[in-house]
Amino acid sequence: MNQKTCADILARVRSKRPLIHHITNSVTINDCANVTIAAGAAPVMAAAPEEAAEMVAAAGALVLNIGTLSREQVEAMLLAGMRANELGIPVVLDPVGAGATRLRTESALRLLDRIDVAVLKGNAGEIGTIAGTGGTVRGVDSGGIAGDPVDTARECARTTGAVVAMSGAADIVTDGRRIVLVENGTPLMGQLSGTGCMAASVTGAFAAVERDRVLAAAAALAAFGRAGERAAGEARGPYSFRTALIDEVFTLTGNDLAEHARVRTIDDL
């Protein structure tokens, strides 16, 4: 994978403007909608079980996020996810807080069991929990993992069958064989609620136009991370960073991404 690939996928998102159906976190729903628009796609937030399967039929990707979990929401996710699978529409799952409570962990595992998830995007604690290799989560924040991050991400991909995008100081994207490190980003992203949810939305937009989910996820995280790097220079603190971040996603060019995306393949087993 190289920087030009990242720029090419971004260009296709903006050319095709895919609809991204979200069933997501009520805390960050507005940010997810706006970052989807800024990336060049179109968001729809349709969480009612009565319309979830119908709405997803018009979408280019489905993004599921269990950050503010309810029984009705999981029902809607299952209906939308299974319909998306029938139609060949990629599903991105953000298992927010898996490992923090039994409800969250069991809900994430249930979704993974019933739905063919294209990209599983989470922090180290969530991915370690789902992989069964050991991970701790405090609230919705990662408390760390027991072993090597690359091995954890790869084992999770092999166990779930999904491409895993694990956030960290360097994001790790793997299908269990290929491994891509994405080293764009800024520590300010960890000081603002919702950046992980926004990253999942951008991943959905990229997955809607790129069938190779490793490339889609890695390019999405590089683009979002690069926007964060640019925004950090304008911010006085976390909330001004939030505004600048969405603006920088919007103004990010293919040329900038081709020059500054820091992606590297480290393994091919």
- Give the residue numbers of the binding site for substrate: 45, 194
CB count within 10 Å of CB 84 equals 25
Strands (E), 139-240: 141-145, 163-167, 171-174, 178-182
Distance CA 130, CA 149 (A): 13
**Taking CA 225 as the corner, what is the angle to CA 127 and CA 268, rounded to the nearest 5 degrees?**
55
User: What is residue 189's DSSP assignment?
Assistant: G
Q: Quick one: how many helices (H) and strands (E) in the chain?
A: 11, 11
CA 182 to chain centre: 13
Q: How, if at all, do strands 178-182 and 263-268 pair?
A: antiparallel
Distance CA 80, CA 53 (A): 4
Q: Which residues contact 78 (CB under 8 A, 6 or more apart)?
A: 110, 111, 114, 115
Annotated binding site: 45, 121, 167, 194
Annotated binding site for ATP: 121, 167
Handedness of CA 46, 47, 51, 55 (dihedral sign): positive
User: What is residue 69's DSSP assignment?
Assistant: -
For residue 220, give both structure tokens. 């999405």
Residue 101 and residue 66 in contact, taking contact as beta carbons nearer than 8 Å = no
